[in-house]
Amino acid sequence: MRFFAVCTLALLSTTSLALAEGAPPPRMPTAEGDKIATVPETKSFGRRQEFVLPSGNIGCVYTPEGGTEVYQPADGGPELSCDRVAPRYVRATLSRDGAATLLKDVGDRGCCSASSVLDYGETWAAGPFACVSTRTGLSCERNDGHSFFLSRRRLNAN
């Protein structure tokens, strides 16, 4: 009995010492036999950015390539989406490729509560997108020339 207790203590202290020194724990068999179980790779998400114009009538959300934990653009991103509230709610979107789009029947209206204000005369840029805020509206462009313009008086997308 004494021999068993000494052997058990020796085994436990050796295992604890190996773990404390950074050695990997002993390999345990898996249900599939001798195959090693692997942990799936976790996806790394970027951070979205938001800004509003000083009027509070236009607000934008930038989603980086690969999306975020709660939203992934259909084409994988990046994506810039800006909403104009008045006189009629409209969403302009620039995706990875293709022309900018205007959506005039927006079901998920959530515009303009961002704390970051893009003052008139300032430029915002991230990924392939850049936007300029002016007193007459917001102009945003992707690095290939496709763009949109939003103001109370005018909408344009190409």
- Whether residue 11 is predicted with pLDDT greater than 70 in this model: the reply is no
5: three-class secondary structure by DSSP: helix
Mean pLDDT of the chain: 79
3-state secondary structure of 28: coil
Residue 45 pLDDT? 64
DSSP string, 61-75: EEE-TT--SS---TT
Q: What is the pLDDT of residue 153?
A: 97
Q: Is pLDDT above 60 for 33?
A: no
So what's the pLDDT on residue 99? 98
Q: Are 37 and 27 in contact (CB under 8 A)?
A: no
Name the H helices within the chain.
2-20
Confidence category of residue 1, pLDDT binned at 50, 70, 90:
very low
Beta bridge partners of 127: none
pTM of the model: 0.70
Hey, CA dihedral for 27, 29, 34, 35, is it positive or negative?
negative
